[in-house]
Structure 1
């Protein structure tokens, strides 16, 4: 014979089950929350606290003095400007070349799997190795590129001195294009073929199918690539440190490299922390603006 529980107990049981589920979820999330708290949030809080101090040991309270100094420092402004141009160049290059390569390898070509892997190898290689490789290739006297120009009877170039910012931008695009290609390739393969078939029946050309179907439906992928490329460009360090050393005349002094020099060459940890916080704010603002603009342009068929 079934026992009928009183109404208050019947109502309490689902609530207790819900509470157990919430406690279990937090129990599984606890290691990740501890990891983020120890290795992300606590260092950020420490940097913010350090940015409010000055002195060799960053032990003298300075309030917002370091931030005021950052806005008045021409070297910091120059470094931020250079980094913005670098991030813009690498983002546009990653989108254009990544999408172009994705369209190419998405076709039924012989050996396309090996071609995809070959294009992905630079991204899987560390920035240090890529930097050393290209520094040797672009060396004005011993580099392979200038040797090739000599063999062809063409004038050699001072690749690392004439326009170093463009040089490290091209090197960075070369390294990350394979990664963006994989992302765009996944987006292309997620577009239903029926759209292209219907457009073909309606007489749409290849260019019209690309502009009216492929590009609009790749908006989420393009948004993701844009956000990640901008963040990567703003945080770039190894290219300036290894390939150009920030020169000549600070023309490739990326902001993270500038922060590194302020912290470990000038031993000004308070000011370098303030620059780091400002960089974090810039990244957050750019990311929020890109996400907002991307959601407005998202197209659904």
Structure 2
């Protein structure tokens, strides 16, 4: 009899636990429902719609024809090459300059808060405004920079009209606008490193470079991984710089992939082909992000 009562008691406890777990799960789904609805409407549904549109021509269903055309289109490959060069340049310079500024502005000196704010101001400014400002500064005829070079007796440059200069200049403008954000991220990473590590390394006889190499860099790996992933994603989707500053010129030197898609969609009125190109970039960014995440987690130290 006691054994039967014990089993009944155990069964009741399990039923109570299962009922509690069910209620907790229901409450969790209720709170998650707004986010799930939002992502379904504004993220997953547009992706499916884009995939369907990419298999259409102006009037007919064409299947994978748009994708085959994209892989055979030399202009797509050219714009992709320009975009990759842009992404590499912007990401590397952002990391190097952002980390350098963070190391300098992490030092204890008066006015460092002001300097941090100054470097962050361009990031808080719209890229449209930044682009218009730099386009006027670098104008080959009336730009301030060329006038300054002329007054110094130096040769003037076609900053935005020279095929070899245009892409590096746009990279420089993009880095100027975004390096403050990278600096803040690295500053947060530096201030999260315990001071005990540096003291222990100093006791072991490590000089400044050795402390930076064996303490700072490894412990900044999570921040660096985040900066790389965000930098690559943003750079591969660059559009405003080409649209506002150069219109993709000269001779397609700054014709970024997304700008090319925009022109195909709205200037050539080929929405199906533009949708296919957009979906290709979406898949590429997703794959690159996963690869960077997997490779980065192997070297990240916490």
Partner of 1:20: 23
**In 2, Cα distance between equivalents of 1:202 and 1:145:** 51
Consecutive unaligned residues in structure 1, runs of 5 or more: none
CA shift, 1:205, in A, is 1.3
| Per-residue CA distance 1:30-72 (angstroms, 9 max, x = gap) | 11111111111111110100001112xxx41101000000001
Match of 2:278 among 259, 276, 279: 276
1:218 aligns with 2:220: yes
Alpha-carbon distance between aligned partners in 2 of 1:147 and 1:194, rounded to the nearest angstrom: 53
Structure 2: 5+ residue runs without aligned partners? 1-5
> Match of 1:281, SS?
helix
Aligned residues: CA RMSD:
1.2
Q: Deviations over 1:114-143 (max 9, x none)?
A: 111111111111111111011011101111
Question: What SS is found at the alignment partner of 1:142?
Answer: coil
- Tell me the equivalent position of 2:205: 203
> Structure 2 CA distance, aligned partners of 1:106 and 1:289?
32
Deviations 1:205-231 (A, max 9, x none): 111111111111110000000000000
Give the alignment of 1:63-142 within 5 angstroms.
63-142=63-142
Structure 1 runs, 4 residues or longer, greater than 4 Å off: none
Q: Does 1:176 align with 2:178?
A: yes
Aligned length: 294
Q: How far does the alpha carbon of each residue in 1:235-272 deviate from its partner, in whole angstroms, 9 at most, with x for none?
A: 01000000010001111100000000000000000000
Q: Give me the whole-angstrom Cα distance separating, in 2, the residues matched to 1:289 and 1:29.
A: 29
Where does residue 36 of structure 1 map in the other structure?
39
How far is 1:6 from its partner?
3.9
In the alignment, structure 1 residue 234 sits paired with structure 2 residue 236? yes
TM-score (norm 2): 0.95
Distance apart, 1:10 and its partner CA? 2.1
Residue 145 of structure 2 corresponds to 145
Q: Could you give the per-residue CA deviations for residues 153-211 of structure 1, whole angstroms, max 9, x where no partner exists?
A: 21111000222111111111111100000000000011111111111122211111111
Are 2:23 and 1:10 aligned?
A: no
Aligned to 2:3: none
Match of 1:54 in 2: 57
TM-score scaled to structure 1, two decimals? 0.95
Match for residue 258 of structure 2? Answer: 256
